[in-house]
Structure 1
Amino acid sequence: MAAGFLALGALLAGCAGEPLAEKFSAPTEASDTPAPSPSAPAQTLLSQEGIAAGHPEAVKVGLEILEQGGNAADAAIATAFAVSVVEPHASGIGGGGVTLVAEPTKDVAAFDYREVVGTSGKIPASGTGVPGFVDGMATLHETYGSMPWDELLQPAEDLARDGFVITKFLGERMNDGIGSQIVSEHRQFRTKDGSRVLREGETLKQSELAQTIQTIAEGGRDEFYEGSISDELTEVEGLDATTLANYETEKFEPVDGKVGDYTVVTAPPALPGAGLIQMLQQAEGAGIASDAPGSAPYVDKLMAAWSNASDTVTENFGDQRFVDVDLSEVLDRDQNLAIGSKLEERASKDSPAGDIDPGNTTHLSVVDRDGMAVSMTNTITSFWGGTKSDVVGGFFLNNQLSRFESIDSPANRPEPGRKSVTWSNPAMVLDGQGRVVMGIGTPGGQQIPNILASVLVPVLLQDQPIQDAVDGPRFHLQGGTLAVEGKAGKSLKALARANEWKIRETTRSDGVFGSIQALWVDYDTGTLDGATDVRRDGDHGVADTDQ
């Protein structure tokens, strides 16, 4: 059982184990259903509440919901729909995701609403699986929400209909060759005269997407899975009426592990969370706390730990409803520390196979005044859902099922209703009293574990402020190539030669190193500390409460 979030200060020790799934039924027509009645909130704990998300407009939406008295779940739902509008390349109605929710005095809960294989058991050429995003948001609303469903979706509808200014990063994704090829087929992404794709600084309006969001706001999740939207979805190869109608979000028990004086809580297989914990513990055992971030010893240790974790995820993980995944050794802290102590004796030139590609996905973290925390990662997998993506109702469908091919192992095989192994990795950090002190996550594809480690190691093992850690250097080893940000220094070049690695120097526009969205809670002062990652469009906002 994952360690609980004891906001009143009682100690609760977590223990790792294999999570079991629990089915949740999503709400039906929101307009006819009264707002949910969650259990009475705990006494206000914090003098501040806030949100970190992938776009300033989405952060603004989340803060407005919190200011209206909504809780962290309300803010997360509204923000997620808003993100689907302002980051159409990254996540949304046509995709899925995973969310961790922590309530005071209760264990952290994990909700998996990722895409599944249809009844045929076959993967379409597009890689599109049955989307879970809408059911996931509806399930979170039914379980935790305090504001009416349609009010939470209204800001996203307004953003889609009224438009927003295209940022530098979105402009690059829309005009980078592949992106231009994809979006040029859709009128809303072109200038009024149709002569070219819109650019940074121009306004993007998505009237068809606005109508879809309005339909979901009025009709609830059933309008998507069994109503007018489902009628359009079933025309897409790989999507069928039966799988859509039967889609249900799953509630899982998270996995957790101690790192330094903290406990990291994250999602279980088929997600890579247990591999992230393994990686962090092995790096800790290697003595990485004494190495400066970005130094050659630091990078060598972290990449060796990453190589082990990557093997764990790609060779052993799978959908636990279909295969048994033994986490007893993966989450054995003593064993991981011991392995870490000998990392420098192994062949550290070992490298996970594969290419280093730009990483998609989006993340948001929310903490409200009553201490509820949400860590949510949503995605349509590749940017724009891949080159063969379909568009329905103004939104791009995912290519999540392509992960069955890219992560090819006996534990990860497609069959009806199954979810693939993937790299989405929302996480939370608990202090010694079992209280959530951090929600964290990032886009980045297979780079996600390394992106997270680049912040978690300095914060948890070296006491760095969160913004300093987010601003720090990032690295990723894949296919014998070490990706670095900007120019590689002499010591890293020497390390690469010694380990027989190539060096790849990346720029911001390459989109390799994600965008951390994190919040840190200080219970002594009742305040929040956030970080803004300038690698993409990420932002955060913190507001004083009426405590």
Structure 2
Amino acid sequence: MKNTTLLVSALFFLLLQTNDSFCQTYARNGMVSSSSKIASEVGIDILKKGGNAIDASVATAFALAVTHPAAGNIGGGGFLVFMDSTGTATTIDFREKAPLKASPKMFLDKTGNLTQGKNLYGEESTTNHIGAKSVGVPGTVAGLYMAHQKYGTLPWEDLVQPAIDIAENGFPLTWSLFQAATFFDSNSPIVFLKDYFKKDNGELIQFGELWKQPELAHTLTAIRDHGHDGFYKGDVAKEIVRFMKENEGIISMEDLNRYTAVERKPIKGAFKDYDIYSMPPPSSGGVALIEMMNLMELAVLDSIPFNSTAYVHLVAEVMRRAFADRAEYLGDTDFNVNTPIAKLTSKEFAKKRFENIDMSRASVSDSTKFGQLYDGSSTTHFSVADASGNAVSLTYTLEHSYGSGMGSTKLGFIFNNEMGDFNPKPGYTTTSGLIGTDPNLIQPEKRMLSSMTPTIVAKDGKPFLIVGSPGGRTIINTVFQTVLNVLAYNMPVDKAIEAMKIHHQWFPDGILYEKGLLSPDTAKALEKMGHMMVPIDGLGELMGIQIDADNKIMIGASDSSSPDGAAIGY
């Protein structure tokens, strides 16, 4: 009997330490799920040292700036949702801002058309995503510093130091980073990006070799020693401004000095017995998520099998309505004070939207009305939970993968190209997805609209599900479907992340779906209903944590589509 007990205990211990085929991890004391195993381990080390979820998030975020340069960043911005052990939720908005010299028509030529140029991939693109003018005032350092000052427990220096150590000592270049390095070496017209993964002798760093970033380590050291001011004042700020002037950018010292993160009240909704907390504008994610969950609550889901024709049709129609509302109403509420958030997230409004869904036929997106703005794909998300019951859901971005591709060789990080998230041409909306509605037009110091949707779902007043995703324009819908899968279809977090997902964004009027996960017969049936079906390889790269309060277990999941990601627990 004693041996049997020992065997069962040993097997249970292994279960707690091992990932299954869906990249799922079990733990009791803390969990970090991010797009970089190294960064997740940094966060766990902070938890082991007595830090809380905010401390671990700050350390993880800075580590990602070293190990996940496509999106982990100090040259961009994002959003953080925090729920403490009492069930109190708040958010921190550290979205980038338009520089003081920005204007609504800054990317138009004399004829009123968007100008063109070569992007970091060597492709033709509009200039709102190209060059130093496309760079918004970065917010990441300000946001992380505010989170620490308000809610952290360990010394700031202890949270930045691990990232400095990784940058100075190097880490083995992963296969995905090596693939990016070889591509940029051959294809990118941007010198900084071509040289980004090279040694001092000009040779490309090979897969498995140590990649050291001394310039980034130096910048991080200034941030470690001086906090917020280490980035927005002093030598780092002076070098940012020098770089901008030299490259026709418009960010000034005044822009950097004036930048502040903002703590905001979260968007809150309810689905059955769960409370959902997410980001308010300038993120559109929270409003759209709650609106869509309200719509789905009105459906009789017990009679709609997951992945069926009726299911995909209903979800697409729900997305269509929420994204049309997004385009019409949402922007930076510091500039658009009459944004009807309460209406858009109300149960009564959902009933009106739900009434005109025809379950036998696709609706038509009206090209004379509204469409969808979208972030680029260079976004990353991580989720954190600690033993005391605190939880963090954090998403941040550079906009496109590797942002603008531009950076100062003295600073070692890549600048965002977030100015492309504003409506670039006032009053001009097309069926291809170009939007010109007023709420998201460029204005000095305005924050551009975002799709980022870091979310915490609470059960009985405590964190239950912590989730978010990159994916640009698809972020809202991948998070929405993951939350729906858990709350409505009772899927565990790993299965909810891996399950088939679709995306509809009002304009263009079509359903993107993950090929291989939707049956050909279902796709044909949806086409007969009037949907344009567009197969793609995958949607999102979700990082989630589910908390089983009854068994006191944290279940972490890293999307299998994330090549370097991992959920790490202890």
State the number of aligned residues: 492
Give 1:290 deviation, angstroms.
4.0
The answer as to whether partners of 2:482 and 2:497 remain within 8 angstroms in 1 is yes
Length-normalised TM-score, structure 1: 0.84
Which of residues 381, 387, 398 in structure 2 aligns to 1:380? 398
1:116-515 → structure 2 map (5 Å cutoff) = 116-122=97-103, 125=127, 126=131, 127-176=134-183, 180-181=187-188, 182=190, 185-190=193-198, 194=202, 197-198=204-205, 200-235=207-242, 236=244, 237-272=249-284, 273-288=286-301, 290-323=303-336, 324-337=338-351, 339-340=353-354, 342-345=356-359, 348-350=362-364, 353=371, 359-386=377-404, 393-404=411-422, 405=424, 407-431=435-459, 433-478=460-505, 479-487=508-516, 488-507=518-537, 513-515=539-541
Q: Distance in 1 between matches of 2:311 and 2:401?
A: 31
| Stretches of structure 1 lacking an aligned partner (at least 5 in a row) | 1-45
Length-normalised TM-score, structure 2: 0.80
The answer as to whether partners of 1:349 and 1:499 remain within 8 angstroms in 2 is no
The answer as to whether partners of 1:216 and 1:223 remain within 8 angstroms in 2 is yes
Which deviates further from its counterpart, 172-181 or 516-525?
A: 172-181
Change (3 A) 1:286 1:63: same
Give 1:288 deviation, angstroms.
4.0
Which deviates further from its counterpart, 152-161 or 481-490?
A: 481-490
Give 1:341 deviation, angstroms.
5.7
Q: Secondary structure at the match of 2:402?
A: helix
Q: Secondary structure at the match of 2:297?
A: helix
Change (3 A) 1:355 1:266: closer
The answer as to whether partners of 1:389 and 1:398 remain within 8 angstroms in 2 is no
Q: What's the counterpart of residue 533 of structure 1?
A: 559
Q: Distance in 1 between matches of 2:363 and 2:224?
A: 52
Change (3 A) 1:358 1:168: farther
The answer as to whether partners of 1:426 and 1:442 remain within 8 angstroms in 2 is yes
Q: Percent identity?
A: 28
Give the counterpart letter for 2:377 in structure 1.
Answer: G
Cα deviation code 1:221-278 (max 9, x no counterpart):
2121111000011121121111211211111101111123212111111211111111
Change (3 A) 1:188 1:389: closer
| Stretches of structure 2 lacking an aligned partner (at least 5 in a row) | 1-26, 108-126, 425-433
Q: Distance in 1 between matches of 2:400 and 2:39?
A: 21
Q: Distance in 2 between matches of 1:85 and 1:520?
A: 27
Q: Secondary structure at the match of 1:383?
A: coil
Change (3 A) 1:308 1:519: same
Give the counterpart letter for 1:298 in structure 2.
Answer: Y
Give 1:422 deviation, angstroms.
1.1
Change (3 A) 1:282 1:172: farther
Q: Secondary structure at the match of 1:97?
A: strand
Larger Rg: 2
Q: Secondary structure at the match of 1:129?
A: coil
Change (3 A) 1:356 1:264: closer
Change (3 A) 1:515 1:525: same
Which deviates further from its counterpart, 445-454 or 358-367?
A: 358-367
Q: Distance in 2 between matches of 1:355 and 1:421?
A: 8
Give 1:132 deviation, angstroms.
0.8
Cα deviation code 1:450-497 (max 9, x no counterpart):
111221111001111111111111211352343222335223321442
Q: What's the counterpart of residue 60 of structure 2?
A: 79
Give the counterpart letter for 2:137 in structure 1.
Answer: V
Q: What's the counterpart of residue 23 of structure 2?
A: none
Q: Distance in 2 between matches of 1:132 and 1:120?
A: 18
The answer as to whether partners of 1:289 and 1:457 remain within 8 angstroms in 2 is no
Which of residues 66, 79, 96 in structure 1 aligns to 2:77? 96
Give the counterpart letter for 2:235 in structure 1.
Answer: S
Give the counterpart letter for 1:419 in structure 2.
Answer: R
Give 1:142 deviation, angstroms.
0.7
Please report the RMSD computed on the Cα atoms of aligned residues, expressed in angstroms: 2.6
